[in-house]
Structure 1
Amino acid sequence: MVNQRKLLHGIVAGLGLMVAAGPLSAAEGLSDGKVKIGVLSDMSGVYKSLEGPGAVVAAKMAVADFGGKVLGKPIEIVSADHQNKPDIGASTAREWIDAKQVDMITALDNSSVALAVQGLASEKKVITMDAGAGTTALTEDQCAPYGIHYVYDTHALPVGTATAVVKNGGKKWFFITADYAFGHSLQENTAAVVKNLGGSVVGNVNAPLGTTDFSSYLLQAQSSGADVIGLANAGQDTVNAIKQANQFRIVQSGQKLAGMLVFITDIQSMGLDIAQGLQFTTAFVWNQDDEAEKWSRRYYEQQGAMPTMVQAGVYSAVTNYLKAIDAVGTDDADAVRKQLGEMELNDMFVKGGKILANGLMLHDMYLVEAKKPDESTEEWDLLRVISKIPAEQAYIPLSESKCPLLK
């Protein structure tokens, strides 16, 4: 009965409903005299630049901006490299929780790692606020009572990008897909958007994570007769694929490239000569408004690069987690998760955000385009916002969610 009641609290928290379940029994104050937050990311591999050490910088900025303490007690950041391996991610999370009393884990920029860590952490009643992984499984069939998916997912990405490409004539698609949970989820969701708009998928090929030579995959795509080559990958994999497509003159030959997950660091790495005109969907642009630009320039002073959407998302997630602890007067996971579900999130990253019962953080997304070289006014002035995608259009409605917690 106790377990059922705790689960009910998790569900009610996201929906913001009142349930006559009696007063919260959590103890006041912090469980071990401090709040400890773990940043678990790819610190050395293909996703290093998009989250990695920059996520640690963002988390530490959030703690400093919060005043370094919550409820009068210190806040500590720990970090580790999951190496894009679910077993390493899970073992690190287990050690953090069991031996180091970590209260919340964030970053998690690999879907397989994120699923493993979210499941383990929820079993131990520890909140995860995923900023980097994409798979919708985190809030759908593998949702968890203490798991929050914060920045983007593989449903939101194609809503903007694939819709724009298909409406501009890109009807026939061929996918080059990262061969793990994230890539397959992104391809599946993008293909659904393409088909719903009257397009078709003429083929696909899976590429191992960390592929450096995309030539054989690009030649298959080039000979497929597709209008569009959809890149269902991310980070250095996307950069390598686009650079090599440029060498094969694929775009010059009439096919379009669609990067389904692109970060500003990717555009900077490629350069606008190659990236110009590339459209993609993102949750954050560093100069999208005055508040975002002011924070981003502070971040740049420490990191030497403008923040990606997931690095900005880590800052926002840590900040709102601390706000929730401050509001309820405890770090008890049930009380904090309930408070997070009742808060409206407003900061430099998100406006009017809401964490739902399945763990999805509902917020607007943006369709952007890489500028032409002569349109850029400074090193990181790389993107223009084409349109805002309302949250209700970007994400799977709660009424259609397959999350078991909702039943």
Structure 2
Amino acid sequence: MPETITLPRAGTPRPLLRLARWIAAAALVAAPAAGHAQSAAPIKIGILNDQGGVYSSITGQGSVAAARLAIEDAGGTILGRPVELVFADHQHKPDLGATIAREWYDVQGVDAIFDIYSSGVSLAVQRIAEDKNKIVVVSMASSGLIGGKQCSPNGMQWANDGYAVSNLTVRGSSGATPNSWFFITVDYTAGHSIEADASRMIRAAGGTVAGAVRFPIGTPDFSSFLLRAQASGAKNIGFIGGGTDLINSVKQADEFGIRAAGQRYVPFSMTTVDIAAVGNQVAAGMPVVLSYYWGENEATQRWAERFRQATGRLPTDPQANVYSAVLHYLKSVQAAGTRDTAAVLQRMRATPVEDVFTRGARIRADGRLMRELIYAEAKPAGEMRNADDLLRIVSRVPGEQAFIPPQESECALLRR
């Protein structure tokens, strides 16, 4: 709204009259400048994840670096506005994550939040994003509630989820033969969700679940859990957890001689970081479900080298997906010609996702990016060509075969 200027009345002394006219002229000049400054307010995005805990090496500062690469590739400015980045540690506490999200959306003017990598925090932030009419894009989280019963028009999931990990891991590890399983599962929402999905798929294929135990996040000693798994006699021991928990369990399972005794140790959330930490001699044959692997082709290798120059290490799948999601968001803002949430969401859904490792993927009504997934296994040490040659790609699975079918989902958005 134009600013109103009040002129002095007749009879005002000349010095004051000149001063009043100068102030009025200055105000008229300043008003457009102020309007221009307001229109050039930055487009702000936030990276909310584990910055110092068990999953920090998988997400953490690497996700921040990946987002910066996306901003760089988008040109650094969108619609004449600079793109700014903020980040914070949610410490896997939904209340803390929710508080940060509210402050970012309400006070700092953040338009979209990315990454998270925690089901409990993702659910809390997704509710806030819908309340505030903002955007949240989860790189990777396992709970079926995020894109299911508690799905939101303001939320998206970019990489794999618990259903897809269970689906590909159970099929890849069991093959065509029904097998028996025992689960060692982290005691929080994501772990429970994966165990439930995997157990259902195992039984549907004619297999059995001999039992399960739960452990708290940050467990240093898995001896008692491994002893129970061994005693079950199950063919496969499924470990559901990640980060340092996964690394510790894999090392201890090797010390217990589980593989040597004929049981297969099957982590459900193994990453390249974990393989590098335990070594391919120990990890050989263990499954990995991912959408980005640097060794796939020249484009993925070039991007990995850019990331390594920025961080000193190679990217993980979640970090690459942060890059992909941020880049698609910024392209969509540019194409929409506005930062308005509804217009940007519409453009994100209408436009196929294209980047260094994504081809023609589209966002489904429940927010799920229907991308191709890779089922891979850690290479035996003797087959590695170099220290970075960690995986053998076994198969590529289209999104329609990897993710939950619409008819099985509880998301109301898929019924509209």
Same-fold status (TM-score > 0.5) = yes
Following superposition, the deviation at residue 406 of structure 1 comes to 3.5
Q: Is the 8 A contact 1:313 1:349 kept in 2?
A: no
Indicate the SS of the match to 1:273: helix
Following superposition, the deviation at residue 168 of structure 1 comes to 6.2
Please, which moves more after superposition, 155-164 or 165-174? 165-174
Q: Is the 8 A contact 1:139 1:403 kept in 2?
A: yes
Following superposition, the deviation at residue 145 of structure 1 comes to 1.3
User: Which digits, 9 at most, give the CA deviation of each residue in 1:22-51, with x for residues without a partner?
Assistant: xxxxxxx99772210000010000100111
Whether 2:386 is the aligned partner of 1:342: answer: no
C-alpha distance in 1 between matches for 2:119 and 2:39: 30
Whether 2:194 is the aligned partner of 1:200: answer: no
State the match for 2:336 in structure 1.
328
Are the structure 2 counterparts of residues 276 and 30 from structure 1 closer, same or farther at C-alpha, using a change threshold of 3 Å? farther
Q: Is the 8 A contact 1:157 1:281 kept in 2?
A: yes
Q: Which amino acid aligns with 1:338?
A: Q
State the match for 1:233 in structure 2.
241
Q: Is the 8 A contact 2:40 2:80 kept in 1?
A: no
State the match for 2:9 in structure 1.
none
Whether 2:95 is the aligned partner of 1:94: answer: no
User: Which digits, 9 at most, give the CA deviation of each residue in 1:226-261, with x for residues without a partner?
Assistant: 111001111111111111101111111111011111
Indicate the SS of the match to 2:145: helix
Q: 1:232-381, aligned counterparts within 5 Å?
A: 232-381=240-389
State the match for 1:127 in structure 2.
135
Q: Is the 8 A contact 1:166 1:197 kept in 2?
A: no
Following superposition, the deviation at residue 276 of structure 1 comes to 1.1
Are the structure 2 counterparts of residues 279 and 332 from structure 1 closer, same or farther at C-alpha, using a change threshold of 3 Å? same
Are the structure 2 counterparts of residues 168 and 248 from structure 1 closer, same or farther at C-alpha, using a change threshold of 3 Å? farther
Q: Which amino acid aligns with 1:218?
A: L
Gapped regions of structure 1 (runs ≥ 5): 1-28
C-alpha distance in 1 between matches for 2:72 and 2:348: 21
Following superposition, the deviation at residue 169 of structure 1 comes to 4.6
Are the structure 2 counterparts of residues 406 and 165 from structure 1 closer, same or farther at C-alpha, using a change threshold of 3 Å? closer
Q: CA RMSD in A?
A: 1.5
Following superposition, the deviation at residue 166 of structure 1 comes to 1.6
Indicate the SS of the match to 1:105: strand
Q: Which amino acid aligns with 1:113?
A: V
State the match for 1:18 in structure 2.
none
Are the structure 2 counterparts of residues 145 and 30 from structure 1 closer, same or farther at C-alpha, using a change threshold of 3 Å? farther
Following superposition, the deviation at residue 280 of structure 1 comes to 2.5
Following superposition, the deviation at residue 170 of structure 1 comes to 6.3
Following superposition, the deviation at residue 398 of structure 1 comes to 2.4
Q: Which amino acid aligns with 1:178?
A: V
C-alpha distance in 2 between matches for 1:308 and 1:31: 37
Q: Which amino acid aligns with 2:73?
A: D
C-alpha distance in 2 between matches for 1:136 and 1:379: 36
Q: 1:61-76, aligned counterparts within 5 Å?
A: 61-76=69-84
C-alpha distance in 2 between matches for 1:30 and 1:239: 49
Following superposition, the deviation at residue 53 of structure 1 comes to 0.7
Q: Is the 8 A contact 2:153 2:366 kept in 1?
A: yes
State the match for 1:404 in structure 2.
412
Q: Percent identity?
A: 40
Q: Is the 8 A contact 1:258 1:280 kept in 2?
A: no
Q: 1:170-185, aligned counterparts within 5 Å?
A: 171-185=179-193
Are the structure 2 counterparts of residues 217 and 168 from structure 1 closer, same or farther at C-alpha, using a change threshold of 3 Å? farther
C-alpha distance in 2 between matches for 1:115 and 1:291: 34
State the match for 1:391 in structure 2.
399
Please, which moves more after superposition, 30-39 or 87-96? 30-39
C-alpha distance in 2 between matches for 1:404 and 1:387: 32
TM-score, normalised by the number of residues in structure 1: 0.91
State the match for 1:80 in structure 2.
88
More RCO (CA 8 Å, sep 6+): 1
Q: Is the 8 A contact 1:107 1:130 kept in 2?
A: yes
C-alpha distance in 1 between matches for 2:253 and 2:38: 53
Q: Is the 8 A contact 1:170 1:228 kept in 2?
A: no
Gapped regions of structure 2 (runs ≥ 5): 1-36
Task: List 4+ stretches of structure 1 deviating above 6 A.
Answer: 29-32
C-alpha distance in 1 between matches for 2:292 and 2:203: 27
TM-score, normalised by the number of residues in structure 2: 0.89
C-alpha distance in 2 between matches for 1:218 and 1:346: 43
Indicate the SS of the match to 2:128: helix
Q: Is the 8 A contact 2:304 2:314 kept in 1?
A: yes
State the match for 2:13 in structure 1.
none
